[in-house]
């Protein structure tokens, strides 16, 4: 069993049907994507853009719950509610502590990932399988069909380690776990367009 301070890893692995390797990949996507959101969140607060701040905290809340970061999910829920209710006093009093805790969780995840086995970035690409999986995931996202989303997401994991396509697959997975289905579909279209030009 993996131990990461601040995460219920048993719950997180259970969401990945007991597959630890896929859980680690999910954590990598979460860490990378949320780390990128931090400057945007700071800018949103600086500009009193609570609509954007609500969007960010909602996405983190959902993703944190999915990976087993229960305390972070709860903290994100409070920040989201404060943003929705225009409770600037609560946000001012708690935003620094929230970001500090968020950074702590991301650091803990990064440390755990550093201890895991490095991925082989040169796995061969089966273009037919990749295209079918991307098309299937896009349909699943459009239909909100969770079984189809899970099935095709699992298939795409085989391509996440490839040097040419891995970062784009990780981007799609990041949008998926954060509930950003339209962005995921756009990223899928970008890959499919590139494949059609090969």
Identify whether 143 is part of a domain: yes
Q: Quick one: 181 and 103 in the same domain?
A: no
Give percent above pLDDT 90 in the chain.
Answer: 54
The answer to whether residues 137 and 80 belong to one domain is no
| Residue 35 CB-density burial (10 A; 0-12 exposed, 13-18 middle, 19+ buried) | middle
User: Residues in the chain, how many?
Assistant: 198
Entry pTM: 0.66
- Measured at the alpha carbon of residue 106, what is the angle toward residues 122 and 3, in degrees to the nearest 5? 85
Residue range 129-140: mean pLDDT, rounded: 92
Angle, CA of 94, 180 and 75, to the nearest 5°? 20
Same domain assignment for residues 26 and 107: yes
| Dist. CA 173–CA 156, nearest whole Å | 9
pLDDT score for 60 = 95
Q: What is the pLDDT of residues 63-87, one digit of tens each?
A: 999 999 999 999 999 999 999 999 9
* Domain of 100, in residue numbers: 9-115
Q: Encode pLDDT of 150-184 as tens digits.
A: 899 888 877 876 777 888 888 898 888 778 889 99
Query: Over the stretch 83-98, which tens digit does the pLDDT of each residue have?
Result: 999 999 999 999 999 9
Say whether both 109 and 132 belong to one domain.
no
**Is the alpha carbon torsion for 165, 167, 172, 177 positive or negative?**
positive
> Which tens digits make up the pLDDT trace of 113-132?
887 755 444 456 788 899 99
Q: Are 85 and 136 in the same domain?
A: no
Work out the pLDDT band at 197, boundaries 50, 70, 90. Answer: low
Local confidence band at 198 (pLDDT 50, 70, 90 cut-offs): low
């Amino acid at each position: 069993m993996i131990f990461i301070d601040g995460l219920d890893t048993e719950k997180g692995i259970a969401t990945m049907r007991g597959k630890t390797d896929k859980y680690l990949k999910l954590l990598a996507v979460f860490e990378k994507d949320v780390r990128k959101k931090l400057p945007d969140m700071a800018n949103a607060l600086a500009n009193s853009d609570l609509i954007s701040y609500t969007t960010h905290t909602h996405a983190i809340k959902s993703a944190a719950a999915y990976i087993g970061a229960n305390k972070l999910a709860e903290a994100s829920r409070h920040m989201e509610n404060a943003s929705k209710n225009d409770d600037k006093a609560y946000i001012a009093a708690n935003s620094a502590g929230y970001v500090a805790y968020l950074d702590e969780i991301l650091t803990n995840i990064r440390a755990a990932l550093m201890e895991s086995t490095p991925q082989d970035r040169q796995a061969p690409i089966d273009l037919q399988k990749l295209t079918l999986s991307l098309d299937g995931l896009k349909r699943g996202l459009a239909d909100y069909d969770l079984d189809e989303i899970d099935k095709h997401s699992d298939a795409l994991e085989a391509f996440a380690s490839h040097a040419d396509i891995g970062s784009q697959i990780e981007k799609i997975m990041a949008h998926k776990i954060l509930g950003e289905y339209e962005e995921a579909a756009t990223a899928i279209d970008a890959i499919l367009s590139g494949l059609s030009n090969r």
